Structure 1
């Protein structure tokens, strides 16, 4: 099943649809034509994270914007699914196989950047290039807003009764330029997690992913990433401080790192022109200079 969104980006309409794998029923968007680019979002799913970027990238690429397990409208069907970083990375590989993509560029934001890194470590032959926006993937504590979800009972209640005010707070914290905050996406996000259809299972998936993901192994294996990496961070990131960038630049074999002044955690929405000015040539280049 699929439908075309109201927006008509220059790369063509955005089609939302589902595809089934042994692990999950994946919800994703597809737009454009050309070499594939997979978008892996931070918490909340692609609509909360990447909705505005799809049209720009679809001018030159076939864009796949994915809800990973535990996010958005993706439903984990394998009840033995182990929920950790490796399981999610492998399930992303299953998604790519299901849509017929052998090798792809990947753009990952926040936790999506961590999953992108682990996928590139496990399947280096499948990643053409890797663009990371304030990524997870290193062994540091979650921000306090997410640490609550790891607590027994408290986390369950916090997710079950998540309010629009709480979501808006978390979204605003991602931005330096408050006029760029896409508040209209909050209602869509809340409708998704509150929908009666498989609601209990979706909330359970969200909590189990949050409680299972650990990044120690991902950080230890950063040297296994073979693809060229574009790393972007905002100076005013209040979720993952910009000082963490050195943990990546000292370990990744091939990395072009950029710190954007006055950028928040959702850098691609907070400073879209500056982010795309770096991202577009990186994704379309024939080669990227080595570190």
Structure 2
């Protein structure tokens, strides 16, 4: 069941489940994205954690306020306020794409609040030669720019997110399409996400990067700058997988992430 929290300038929507060490789950910026559409199928494997699955501002059930700052910076501040409102001083952060960038921003600006980071093909760090954009980002920006995007455009977008295109089911396409019409972000194209590159070295949390080898949205070649920039980062690459690692390779994702998060419980002390 979706609840809301007052974070100052909007009511941030979230879903909570499980008990244990807190994990905050942060979704991507694709059209129709919500916290539960990104991560709902993974949560049963993490029911011994306190899971907070957020709809970031402007997506899902969370409205977008007027802002004059980069999206990543704005969202990170609101997620931090939500953690405070929920009585969470410190948590693991798991973020996909845009949500991964939001997680990195929180780890940069409030390192004392982050135990471990899991980042699936995170945004916020671009190569010097971008644009041109990878085809996945081209489709994302094209969908954002449409006055009333079509279901066909959503179908094309979803098919690019997975290597095994049988996973791009009609039910998934319909769910994402209907959600996108409810909360179609009114943003410049491309949006001002913000640049995290200069502050990568501020991330002290142990960090796991997960990437689909065939990702056509945030390509694997973009991982190097992040891997080299975060002092305590490791990279796992999953073959025959594109951008939605947690969806397309759910069993492997759940096992890898659980093992990484439970290292802390086994006595590995996170960096401050």
Q: TM-score, normalised by structure 1?
A: 0.81
Q: 1:289 to 1:67 in 2, by over 3 A?
A: closer
Q: Write the distance in 1 (CA, Å) between the matches of 2:70 and 2:214.
A: 31
Partner of 2:75: 88
Q: Write the distance in 2 (CA, Å) between the matches of 1:206 and 1:50.
A: 24
Q: 1:273 to 1:54 in 2, by over 3 A?
A: same
Partner of 1:109: 96
Q: Write the distance in 2 (CA, Å) between the matches of 1:233 and 1:264.
A: 8
Instruction: Kindly state the Cα deviation for residue 75 of structure 1 after the two structures are TM-superposed.
Output: 1.2
Matched, 1:64 2:52: yes
Q: State the SS of the aligned residue for 2:19.
A: coil
Q: 1:53 to 1:206 in 2, by over 3 A?
A: farther
Partner of 1:268: 246
Q: Write the distance in 1 (CA, Å) between the matches of 2:189 and 2:17.
A: 28
Q: 1:256 to 1:284 in 2, by over 3 A?
A: same
Q: 1:126 to 1:162 in 2, by over 3 A?
A: same
Q: State the SS of the aligned residue for 1:223.
A: helix
Q: 1:96 to 1:38 in 2, by over 3 A?
A: same
Q: Write the distance in 1 (CA, Å) between the matches of 2:247 and 2:59.
A: 19
Partner of 1:6: none
Q: Write the distance in 2 (CA, Å) between the matches of 1:112 and 1:33.
A: 22
Structure 2 gap segments, 5+ residues each: none
Moved over 6 A (4+): none
Q: 1:185 to 1:17 in 2, by over 3 A?
A: farther
Alignment coverage as a number of residue pairs: 258
> 1:169-208 maps to which residues of 2 (within 5 A)?
169-181=156-168, 183-195=170-182, 202-203=183-184, 205-207=185-187
Partner of 1:75: 63
Q: State the SS of the aligned residue for 2:13.
A: strand
Of 46, 65, 68, the residue aligned with 2:35 is 46
> 1:111-260 maps to which residues of 2 (within 5 A)?
111-140=98-127, 141=130, 142=133, 143-148=137-142, 155=145, 158=146, 160-181=147-168, 183-195=170-182, 202-203=183-184, 205-207=185-187, 211-215=191-195, 218-260=196-238
User: Do the aligned partners of 2:72 and 2:98 also contact (CA within 8 Å) in 1?
Assistant: no
User: Do the aligned partners of 2:91 and 2:114 also contact (CA within 8 Å) in 1?
Assistant: yes
Q: What is the RMSD of the two structures over their aligned residues, measured on CA atoms?
A: 2.2
Q: Write the distance in 1 (CA, Å) between the matches of 2:7 and 2:142.
A: 31
Q: State the SS of the aligned residue for 1:285.
A: helix
Structure 1 gap segments, 5+ residues each: 1-14, 196-201
Partner of 1:19: 5
Higher RCO (CA < 8 A, seq sep 6+):
2
Q: Write the distance in 1 (CA, Å) between the matches of 2:82 and 2:190.
A: 21
Instruction: Kindly state the Cα deviation for residue 239 of structure 1 after the two structures are TM-superposed.
Output: 0.7
Instruction: Kindly state the Cα deviation for residue 193 of structure 1 after the two structures are TM-superposed.
Output: 3.8
User: Do the aligned partners of 1:42 and 1:110 also contact (CA within 8 Å) in 2?
Assistant: yes
Instruction: Kindly state the Cα deviation for residue 212 of structure 1 after the two structures are TM-superposed.
Output: 2.4
